[in-house]
């Protein structure tokens, strides 16, 4: 199912708040939604399955990152078994997103225009995957002219011939001039209807201000959902080792419409070791995790969250306004009473997505009224209060 249409509905034009935007996204004649929105992703679906969480984890869109970096990429280039494994991994999540428009995100090294065989493998791997609404292009290291050729080739092959959508990708740390030219190409293709979802690969805004500003300048010309992938949950230190910045609020105001986290690969060796390891005897021994506080655009380290007497009550469907002790009781233990080393980490993943979805409702209201400056001041105040408490 390809999105029927994507149109810019409103933009906060005040320079102080950089200019977040709202898109009016029409899925079909009876279904539509507004952005910014938080997709459900492979990461949340995996966490839900592990915890046996019975609540719904839903969003109008689903981002399905597939990590093909490092050793996986070397095997991808040579080994049919790895390609099959990656396809099965992608299909296992695509079939679980029947209520969302889904798109994969190929997390893999850049390809050159001459890497035709790897491009073809990536294309056919997705072709053989059931349940995909869109295909993901790789990231290309090439000139704007070659990039346009690649995007048009993929889009016409998919949209015109197969009625499947195509998601071009860009790097936020690409050469600023090339980035600007490629954005203009994509803006033109959004007007023609060939492109209505674009993925940009996260890089820190403070190190790539020119690229983010180029995106900001084009935000009224891009009739496409701009998803930013691989956004880290933990940004710069606010309180070293305890409280950290979350980048989402910042990058949304440059014209980003949704974010997704990085999908990590877990080594088979780690899985074997974990399966045979004794259960932790203390909550201090569980996997490290970070608890999102989206109203303050921040995350709290697991040690600080567990040790602090402060109760950060959250009304998201995962937390349900419960006290910290009740959340720990619900997610940190196995049925036999032993400590589950990954339980709270998986809880933090679900909480991150679900609480973010609620916070973005507020963001949309402020963008619509061109009042993101007020929202920013509220977030800053919430963060300062949290900093004092912790």
- Encode the chain (390 residues) as per-residue pLDDT tens digits: 899 999 999 998 776 656 689 999 999 999 999 999 999 999 999 999 999 898 888 899 999 999 999 999 999 999 999 999 999 999 999 888 878 999 999 999 999 999 999 999 999 999 999 999 999 999 999 999 999 999 999 999 998 878 899 999 999 999 999 999 999 999 999 999 999 999 999 999 999 999 999 999 999 999 999 999 999 999 999 999 999 999 999 999 899 999 999 988 776 676 667 777 788 899 999 999 999 999 999 999 999 999 988 788 899 999 999 999 999 999 999 999 999 999 999 999 999 999 999 999 999 999 988 888 889 899 999 999 999 887
Distances (CA, A) of 238 to 116, 296, 386, 389: 45, 11, 10, 13
Q: CB of 62 within 8 A of CB of 39?
A: yes
Give all domains of the chain, ordered by start, each with its CATH number.
Answer: 5-267 (3.20.20)
| CB neighbour list of residue 134: distance below 8 Å, 6 or more residues apart | 2, 101, 102, 103, 104, 164, 165, 166, 167, 197
* Helix (H) or strand (E) segment spanning residue 24: strand 21-28
Q: CB of 91 within 8 A of CB of 85?
A: no
d(CA 68, CA 265): 9
**Phi/psi class of residue 220: alpha, beta or left (left: φ > 0; alpha: ψ in -120 to 50)?**
alpha
Among 260, 344, 280, 272, smallest CA distance to 50 is for 344
d(CA 15, CA 268): 49
What secondary structure letter does DSSP report for 339? Answer: B
- The per-residue pLDDT for 17 is 57
Distances (CA, A) of 318 to 22, 36, 339, 367: 26, 21, 20, 27
- The per-residue pLDDT for 56 is 86
CA 147 to chain CA centroid, Å, is 24
- The per-residue pLDDT for 16 is 64
B/e letters for 335-354, b = 16+ CB within 10 Å, e = fewer, are eeeebbbbbbbbbbbbbbbb
Q: CB of 182 within 8 A of CB of 144?
A: yes
Look up residue 27 and give its two tokens.
């899925």
Enter the pTM of the model: 0.95
Q: CB of 72 within 8 A of CB of 266?
A: no
| Strand ranges across the sheet with 243-245 | 237-239, 243-245, 298-301, 290-293
- The per-residue pLDDT for 273 is 72
- The per-residue pLDDT for 18 is 60
Among 233, 254, 316, smallest CA distance to 58 is for 316
CA neighbours closer than 13 Å in the CB half-sphere of residue 29: 0
- The per-residue pLDDT for 255 is 94
- The per-residue pLDDT for 390 is 78
d(CA 169, CA 75): 22
Three-state SS letters, 103-131? EEEEECCCECCCCHHHHHHHHHHHHCCCC
d(CA 146, CA 113): 7
Distances (CA, A) of 176 to 137, 201, 214, 254, 366: 21, 14, 8, 15, 30
d(CA 124, CA 120): 6
Among 352, 366, 359, smallest CA distance to 382 is for 359
């Amino acid at each position: 199912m390809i999105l029927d249409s994507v149109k810019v509905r409103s933009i906060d034009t005040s320079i102080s708040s950089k200019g977040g935007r709202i898109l009016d996204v029409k899925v079909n004649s009876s279904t539509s939604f507004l952005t910014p929105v938080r997709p459900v992703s492979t990461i949340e679906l995996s966490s839900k399955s592990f915890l046996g969480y019975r609540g719904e984890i839903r969003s109008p869109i689903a981002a399905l990152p597939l990590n093909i970096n490092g050793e996986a990429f070397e095997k991808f280039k040579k080994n049919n078994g790895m390609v099959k494994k990656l396809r099965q991994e992608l299909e296992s999540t695509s079939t679980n997103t029947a209520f969302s428009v889904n798109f994969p995100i190929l997390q893999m090294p850049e390809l050159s225009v001459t890497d035709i065989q790897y491009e073809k493998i990536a294309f056919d791997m997705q072709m053989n995957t059931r349940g995909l609404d869109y295909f993901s292009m790789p990231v290309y290291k090439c000139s704007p002219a070659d990039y346009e050729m690649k995007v048009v080739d993929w889009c016409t092959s998919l949209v015109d011939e197969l009625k499947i959508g195509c998601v071009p990708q860009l790097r936020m740390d690409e050469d600023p001039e090339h980035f600007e030219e490629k954005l203009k190409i994509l803006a033109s293709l959004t007007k023609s209807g060939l492109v209505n979802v674009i993925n940009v690969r996260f890089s820190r805004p403070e190190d790539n201000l020119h690229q983010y500003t180029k995106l900001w300048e084009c935000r009224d010309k891009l009739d496409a959902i701009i998803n930013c992938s691989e956004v880290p949950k933990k940004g710069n230190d606010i309180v070293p080792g305890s409280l950290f910045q979350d980048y989402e609020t910042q990058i949304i105001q440059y014209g980003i419409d949704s974010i997704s986290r990085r999908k990590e690969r877990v080594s088979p060796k780690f899985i074997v070791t974990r399966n045979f390891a004794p259960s932790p005897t203390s909550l201090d021994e569980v996997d490290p995790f970070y608890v999102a506080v989206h109203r303050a655009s921040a995350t709290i380290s697991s040690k600080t969250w567990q040790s602090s007497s402060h109760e950060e009550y959250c009304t998201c469907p995962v937390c349900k306004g419960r006290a910290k002790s009740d959340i720990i009781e619900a997610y940190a233990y196995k049925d036999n009473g032993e400590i589950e080393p990954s339980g709270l980490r998986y809880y933090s993943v679900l909480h991150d997505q679900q609480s973010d979805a609620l916070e973005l409702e507020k963001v949309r209201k402020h963008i619509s009224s061109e009042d993101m400056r007020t929202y920013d001041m509220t977030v800053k105040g919430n963060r300062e209060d949290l900093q004092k408490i912790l």
